[in-house]
Structure 1
Amino acid sequence: MARSATKRPPAPKAAEGEINPKAPCPCGSGRRYKHCHGSGYAPPVTRPFEGLPGEPDWVALRELVPAATAPLKLANGREVTLASVLPGGAPALVRAEGEILVGVQLAGSSDDISRDLGTALAAALEAPAGAPVDPGPIGAAGSAGPRLQELLDLSAPLEVTVHQDFGFWLEGVDAGPAAAAGLEQANAAVLPTERLEGLGAAYWVRPSVDRAHLRWVRAEDEEPLLDALARLRAAEELTLGEGTRYAGAFRAHGLVVPVWDLPADVPAAEWTGPATEFGTRLDAALAASTPLSADERRARAGLLSRQVTLR
């Protein structure tokens, strides 16, 4: 049966000062306005740590590093401590002497981790010393708490210290047998991890006696970074030297994390040189402006097929 030739009536125009529901959302998400901000639903924040000093390290502490801390300076000058994870996955705690710790590896989170952490930090700032911190339902939709970008001094660098266990949980605390037992159990799950000096968020980890990896959270936008990695792959310059292999990459909170397999018997510090040399090659590839060749395009497709999105 033939379709009716009758035309559909045109969609009503938006009133002056309003956005057409069928128009692309001004936020740049690619969705129509009615399915994005016009629906009353806030879309996920692709890069929740964008704008914070050390964004790649924030991603690393959230996803890769088992035990680490970093001092944070607030906009009002006060200092608190960022931790990879706190006992029981708590979002924050206030010690008896008043020190505040915020855990980036929350047990639950919403589509904007920065707001979740900001909400926890704001609650900790109001909590009395030694008392439990109750930030409310962290991860609840529509949370009106502040984002980290609103609370922190954005001129202060993020200086990460990697620990080989969770001993910092009980620093200066007279822990009882139950807390000591919980600490021992948590320590048993910590993988040996080290941050390579001078390379940003490059972390060596040994998950077993016969395997080691380098995981390097990169700050570059995904598309130019993939182009650069493809150029190196096509030129057979994507390894870190003999006995190493590029294993793939994953996306986490808007950033790409390349991963290499390494010999487990080589100490972490010995990979600083090869990684530095790779960084120089990568910088040159990032600066290249010529279109990708056929071999580089094939290499790029292969790299994409080996990427996994964590968030």
Structure 2
Amino acid sequence: NQLAGLHRTDGVVLLALQTLAGSGDLSRDLAANLLETIELEPGTPLLRSDLPEAGPRLQDILDLSQPFEVEVRDGFDYWMSPDEELTPEIKEELEDLADSLIDTVKLDTVDSAYWCRMGAKEFLRWSMPYDEDAVINGIARLHAKRESSIDGSKFLGAFRSCGIVIPVWELVRGTEAEDISAPAAEFWKSLKAAIENTEPLDSNERRARAGIISRQITLR
């Protein structure tokens, strides 16, 4: 996505998280894009091709005392201001983009976990805003004991996106979001305890960790 930001005609500022270029410091990149987008005239997109110079990072310019709430949308109509007139061409383009989306539902029983359907399979993607090593070690502890499954699911591995590690489970075929909500909440009790465990890994746990690490990928 080459569009780094958008200042909508109604004054709302949108910031893209996954773009093609970066300095290696995602927080700095996002802060630079946000500050520049705010200064744009309403109705103007930010197309960034150069890298930002040294400056504040995202946590330096946001009010971290405010709650962070995630809202999952099933289309891209939020790109447009409510008062903007949509031409048939724009409507068709937005509909085509919406058709390409992965069906995603945010679980309401735990933080940052998302049920997804890709093709004929269902998955649970669980964003972990915790230290990556602690998360991987925690899952390795459970995996070594064959306790990394959630209600019959299969733990596949993890990927990184925007600096966050995201473990993934393949769910039992046909599982809906409401089916996995309660089991995920119950599983979190074990996972949280494993993440907070600071004891050194034993040999079986180290082997499990090595397997998890070998399957990790990073999405940019």
Q: TM-score, normalised by structure 1?
A: 0.63
> Bigger radius of gyration, 1 or 2?
1
Partner of 1:150: 60
Gaps of 5+ in 1: 1-87
Partner of 2:100: 189
Partner of 1:84: none
Equivalent in 231, 244, 252 of residue 141 of structure 2: 231
Identity %: 37
Matched, 1:166 2:76: yes
User: Cα distance, 1:111 vs. partner?
Assistant: 1.5
Equivalent in 274, 283, 287 of residue 183 of structure 2: 274
Distance in 2 (CA, whole Å) between partners of 1:310 and 1:90 is: 17
Count matched residues.
219
Distance in 1 (CA, whole Å) between partners of 2:147 and 2:184 is: 12
Distance in 1 (CA, whole Å) between partners of 2:165 and 2:158 is: 7
Three-state SS of the structure 2 residue aligned to 1:91 is: strand
Distance in 1 (CA, whole Å) between partners of 2:191 and 2:124 is: 16
Partner of 2:13: 100
Higher helix share: 2
Three-state SS of the structure 1 residue aligned to 2:200 is: coil
Partner of 1:60: none
Partner of 2:117: 206
Partner of 2:31: 118
User: Cα distance, 1:285 vs. partner?
Assistant: 1.9
Q: Tell whether the 8 Å contact from 2:29 to 2:51 is kept in structure 1 after alignment.
A: no
Q: Tell whether the 8 Å contact from 1:247 to 1:261 is kept in structure 2 after alignment.
A: yes
Show CA shifts across 1:243-287 (max 9, x none): x10111123344321110013422112211111111101122234
Three-state SS of the structure 1 residue aligned to 2:60 is: helix
Gaps of 5+ in 2: none
Amino acid at match of 1:92: G
User: Cα distance, 1:171 vs. partner?
Assistant: 4.6
Amino acid at match of 1:167: D
Partner of 2:86: 175
Distance in 2 (CA, whole Å) between partners of 1:227 and 1:146 is: 32
User: Cα distance, 1:158 vs. partner?
Assistant: 1.1
Q: Tell whether the 8 Å contact from 2:6 to 2:13 is kept in structure 1 after alignment.
A: yes
Q: Quick one: structure 1 residues 107 and 141, their matched pair in 2 at CA, closer, same or farther if it must change by over 3 Å? A: closer
Three-state SS of the structure 2 residue aligned to 1:256 is: strand
Q: Quick one: structure 1 residues 230 and 174, their matched pair in 2 at CA, closer, same or farther if it must change by over 3 Å? A: same
Distance in 2 (CA, whole Å) between partners of 1:298 and 1:134 is: 46
User: Cα distance, 1:188 vs. partner?
Assistant: 1.6
Three-state SS of the structure 1 residue aligned to 2:102 is: coil
Distance in 2 (CA, whole Å) between partners of 1:91 and 1:291 is: 42
User: Cα distance, 1:298 vs. partner?
Assistant: 2.4
Output aligned runs, 1:38-117, within 5 Å: 89-117=2-30
Which of structures 1 and 2 has the larger relative contact order (alpha carbons within 8 angstroms, sep 6+)? 2
Show CA shifts across 1:52-76 (max 9, x none): xxxxxxxxxxxxxxxxxxxxxxxxx
Partner of 1:304: 213
